[in-house]
Structure formats: structure tokens, C-alpha cells
Amino acid sequence: MEMKIIQSPAEMQLQAHTWKKEGMQIALVPTMGCLHAGHLSLMRKAAENADRIIASIFVNPIQFGPHEDFDAYPRQFQADCDLAEKEGVHVIFCPDTKGMYPHGFQTTVSVGTLSQGMCGANRPGHFDGVATVVSKLLHLTSPDVAIFGEKDFQQLAIIRQMVRDLNFPATIVGAPIVREEDGLAMSSRNKYLQGEMRTQALCLYRSIQSAQKKVAHEQQVVAADTIIEATKKTVAEAGGKLEYAVVINEHSLQAETLVGSSSVLAIAVKIGGVVRLIDNSKLFTTMK
């Protein structure tokens, strides 16, 4: 089946409806384009869960703040289509801004407590933009399953909550972080890293490795503050600017005092003062 490129939301809805009538299972992989190996792993996960794969490519303006990188966000549409087609994607859904947010658009989706800390604290309105666009994509593509990367840990928790709260008939699947050989979590924003910035960016993964080793080697319960202070030091020594480092419960996203079996270290750092990177990992890789 030749891959189709669909721009019209109405046409996308019709295509999804047709597949549903034919008894097809549909998987959605939402992206903002500039695809890398992490995105491609989501498409392979989608193929394991459905008969038809839709990959959306849409740089969503309402999740960017006034001083963020919407205009500069890397775009490579033809290359993205070539990569997606090789992974067996059946439709690229690439609406324009007017198609998604027509004149007079004024309805947004907001997820409460989960969106308030971490990235939400430093990017006001960001998760309202994410929840709104994902809600629209779910309506337009009618997926049985939607695949999201675990690198955006808070985003994944928010989307799962939204799907439960609003009774979307879709299963949300999280896919593991894909890393470069040196451990840097794959991100479209890695393209911004130039020269020494690329080396500095490794402070996120080094902080995670160090925290996991400390937890594994300690003979007693580790205080979360100990992990956070060590992370601050690693980031500062690398020349990064720490936005946050938190030890949270993987389910509630609430801050934890002591490291336990459900604890996650989540980090956001600005490299070179301009490139914002995030990373996370469970602190117990195996329980003692």
C-alpha cells in the first residue's frame, strides 16, 4: 500500500472512518517532524499494535511560549516522509495551522495538577497546547492505540490522564527512550547542539547514571535531596543551566522524599543558554 499524504482534517477523518468500517486497527504516532531514530521506534511499536499506521507531522504553535523556538523549530518534511514510508507508515497527516485552528478557534483542553510542576512551571500554557492538539488528533484519526515516547515523561502522564478523564476509546502506549551511543536522549532539538554544546549536553545522562549507581550501591534508603544536589553539581560543572531536577513518583508525578521502587529522576537543562533538553529514568533499574 502506497503511503498517502493527507493535509485536510476532514479527509483524515474520512480515511480513518473508512478503515474502521473495514475492521482495521489504527495506530497514531503524533510528531512535530524532524524525525530521528526515536520517532522511528514509535512507528515500529505502532506496527506491532495495528493494521494501519498514521504519523502526524504538525509543529503545534499553541504549545510554544512567546520566547520559545516555534519559528526556528527544525523542519524537514520530505526527509520525514521518506523515513516514515520506509517504516511502513500508511498515512502522513500534515495539517496546516489554519486547518487545526480555524478563525475563531477558542476551545482548549487543560489537565490540572499533573501539568503544574516540572516543565509546566517554566512553560505556562505549554501543556494546555499539548492536550488540545492531542485531543484533536485523537478525534481526527480515531486510533485504537496512540504511541508516545517516554522521554516526555510529564507529557505522557498528562495524555494518559486526559484520555481517561474524557473517555477517549484509545490505548496510550509509552515507548522507551532511544539514546545516542554516548547516552544522549534523542531529540529533534539535538540538531541545535554545536561544538562544545554537544559534549555539555551529556550532563543529563551522566546525572542519571550517577544517581542510579548511588541508589544501587547504597546499603540504606537514599534521600531524594542527595540525588538532586548531585545532579545540580554535575550540570553546573558541565556548564549547563539547570531548569529543574526532581525525584518524583512515576504514577502521580508528586515529589518524593526518599528514593523508592517507583522513583524517577527527571531533569531539564538549558545548554548554551538556548537549547532546552529533558531526560528521565527510573532510579531503581532492578529492585534489591
Q: What's the pLDDT band for 228 if we cut at 50, 70, 90?
A: very high
What's the CATH number where 167 sits?
3.40.50.620
- Which residues are paired to 275 by β-bridges? 271
Residue of 17, 36, 39, 90 with catalytic role: 39
* pLDDT for 286: 55
Cα–Cα distance, 221 to 243 (Å, whole number): 26
Strand intervals (E) in the chain:
4-6, 26-31, 52-57, 91-93, 145-149, 171-175, 241-249, 263-271, 275-282
* 88/43 same-domain check: yes
For residues 19 and 283, give the distance between their C-alpha atoms in angstroms, rounded to a whole number. 42
The verdict on whether 36 is a catalytic residue reads no
For residue 19, give the 3-state DSSP assignment. helix
Indicate whether 222 belongs to any domain.
yes
Q: How confident is the model at residue 287 (pLDDT cuts 50, 70, 90)?
A: very low
Strands 4-6 and 91-93: parallel
- Say what the pLDDT of residue 288 is: 40
Question: Within a domain: residue 34?
Answer: yes
Mean pLDDT of 233-257: 97
Is the domain of 57 the same as that of 192? no
Give the tens place of pLDDT for each residue, 94-147: 999 999 999 999 999 999 999 999 999 989 999 999 999 999 999 999 999 999
Dump pLDDT digits (tens) for 36-68: 999 999 999 999 999 999 999 999 999 998 888
